[in-house]
Amino acid sequence: MITKPKGCHDLIGLEAKKWRYVDSVIDNLMEKYNYNYMRTPVFESSELFHRGVGEGTDIVTKETYDFKDRGDRNVTLRPEGTAGIVRSYIENKMYGEPGPVKVYYNGTMYRYERPQSGRDREFTQFGVEVLGSNDPLVDAEVISIPVLLYKILGLKGIKVKINSLGDKESRENYREALVKYFTPQIDKLCEDCHDRLEKNPLRILDCKVDKDSDILKNAPKTLDFLNEESKERFEKVKEYLDELEIDYEVDDRLVRGLDYYNHTVFEIEASVEGFGSNNVLGGGGRYNGLVETLDGPATCGMGFATGLGRLIQALNLEEVQLPIHDDIELFVMYVSETEKKYAASLVQYLRANGYRVDTEYTERGLKAQFKQADRLKAKYLIILNDEDLAKDEIKIKNNKTKEEDTIGVDYLLYYLDEHLTEDDYDIPEDECQCGHKHEHGEEGCSCHEHHCHCEDEGE
């Protein structure tokens, strides 16, 4: 048997439905924020990531899927989304448009990591990039996107951490302070940190091996090295976050893994029991300077990415009920060939009218079809027989109460309209269709997509 590659997953069954639902919420949310969907190639020239993500990052030194194609070109499967978007921004001269350019992506990424819970070799990220504005409001807006997404989906246990690395000058001063601090004690840190000291000492603070060491804990803090301008900018970001009513904590050890960040960096953690150590749902930051690094004009940038696998894991752990269907509304049953032909057109007609319908395809007898309908969790069964059809009638049975009616075919849509809509979702009265629980009378539900029953009733 051929099995899937290590660290990859097949998306099937209920998980696939959840994933598609999350995708649809993302598309909807991005429309509200006025971000355009953008797709770039899954592989790019290796140089893009080596230059864009940074030679000194773990992602590039250890984790990229690099290979030569049949034309002897060095290509790399994308390990993250920003470099490709920036490459496309430059190549398509998007800087010529009145800015800022606000885009989002949702696609697979590839990193050759040791597979474990929350860490795969193929994984999916949803992310946004805003190019062409240095306004601190953009930083706050970008942070607000995953926060609102998680809220709409009904995820409660999240923690937003922010920090500032400052501008080029502040970052350089901080870098020097770190070199001075780490050099005399570098032998006490891991081999990789020796390398990092030279290439990018900020990355030592991100070290997975030494993360609990006192040396890291007592290291100089970014915020002590911000110049006045960077300090003011960070204050502005925090003010806007307060305006947006986003809870956050300042974590002055947060530096993020990639070379290109400056000013604002942030991460969102899942504080959900049972999540394990890979509990960062997503993160991002400002990358003024990256566009120039990739040969474009001086352009400011800000973005974030969230892993959909970890997000769905968090939703599962919190047992959030997503409004997805794991049932069908109707199962159409038949035995004879004339009934089958009728079934075929009836199924088509019902689907065209918006119902979730299935039928029999394997010549099972009626008894087995009843079983199949149960397996598919059909709410209603339509049982065709030639005698009824001769009178333009059909039998329809509620699969839960077992009540059965014989009705005129012309009446079917009215019948379904009356019987199906009221129990379409089994949502308790005090729960919005997005799974958001709230008290009757509580001011609005956070979810605008699936307005709650309370709002409907004007309570």
Residues in contact with ligand AMP by CB under 6 A are 80, 111, 113, 118-120, 123, 125, 257, 280-283, 305-307, 309-310
Nearer to ligand AMP by C-beta: 110 or 342?
110
The residue among 208 and 391 lying less far from ligand AMP, judged by its C-beta, is 208
Report which residue type is found at 248.
Answer: Y
Q: Which is nearer to ligand AMP, 206 or 360 (CB)?
A: 206
Distance CA 128, CA 387 (A): 60
246 versus 389: smaller Cβ distance to ligand AMP = 246
**Joined tokens for residue 31:** 């429309």
Instruction: State the nearest-atom distance from the C-beta of 279 to ligand AMP, in Å.
Output: 9
> Edge to edge, what strands does the sheet with 328-333 contain?
357-359, 328-333, 378-383, 393-398, 404-408
Of residues 251, 315, 280, 246, the one with CA closest to residue 18: 315
Residue 242 beta carbon to ligand AMP: minimum distance, rounded to whole angstroms: 25
Q: How far is the CB of 30 from ligand AMP (least distance, A)?
A: 17
State the Cα–Cα distance between residues 40 and 455, nearest whole angstrom.
41
| For ligand AMP, the closer CB: 43 or 370 | 43
Return the number of the residue (174 or 304) whose C-beta is nearest ligand AMP: 304
Toward ligand AMP, which CB reaches closer, 121 or 397? 121
CB of 213 to ligand AMP, least distance (A): 22
What DSSP line would sit under 146-165, residue for residue? HHHHHHHHT---EEEEEEE-
* Nearest residue to ligand AMP, scored by beta-carbon proximity: 307
Counted residue by residue, the chain has a size of 459
The answer to whether 220 and 181 have CB atoms below 8 angstroms apart is yes
Tell me the angle at which helices 308-317 and 136-153 cross, rounded to the nearest 10 degrees. Answer: 40
By the 8 A CB rule, do 301 and 286 touch? yes
- Please check whether residue 251 is in contact with residue 163, taking contact to mean a CB–CB distance below 8 angstroms: yes
Smallest gap, in angstroms, from Cβ of residue 282 to ligand AMP? Answer: 5
Measured from the CB atom, the residue of 289 and 307 that comes closer to ligand AMP is: 307
Query: At 309, which helix (H) or strand (E)?
Result: helix 308-317
CB of 1 to ligand AMP, least distance (A): 25
Output 123 or 275, the one with its CB closest to ligand AMP. 123
Smallest separation, CB 293 to ligand AMP (Å): 18
Contacts 24+ apart (CB under 8 A), 419-422: 419/380, 420/329, 420/355, 420/379, 420/380
Instruction: Report, in Å, the least distance between residue 402 CB and ligand AMP.
Output: 46
Closest CA to 59 of 74, 73, 48: 48
Can you tell me whether residue 331 is helix, strand or coil? strand
Residue pair 296/334 in contact by the 8 Å Cβ criterion: no
Q: What is the C-alpha separation between 290 and 87, in angstroms, rounded?
A: 10
CB of 110 to ligand AMP, least distance (A): 9
Name the residue nearer to ligand AMP (CB basis): 53 or 347: 53
Phi and psi for 331 in degrees, rounded to 5? -120, 125
Nearer to ligand AMP, 10 or 187 (CB): 10
Q: How many beta carbons lie within 10 A of that of residue 257, not counting itself? A: 18
Classified as helix, coil or strand, 387 is helix
Contact criterion met (CB below 8 Å) for 62 and 33: no
Q: At 374, which helix (H) or strand (E)? A: helix 366-375
Q: How far is the CB of 311 from ligand AMP (least distance, A)?
A: 7
Q: Which has the closest alpha carbon to 95: 82, 104, 105, 86? A: 86
Tell me how far, at minimum, the Cβ of 118 lies from ligand AMP, in Å.
Answer: 6
In the complex, the smallest distance separating the C-beta of residue 208 from ligand AMP, rounded to whole angstroms, is 12
Nearer to ligand AMP, 125 or 164 (CB): 125
Q: What SS3 state is found at 267?
A: strand
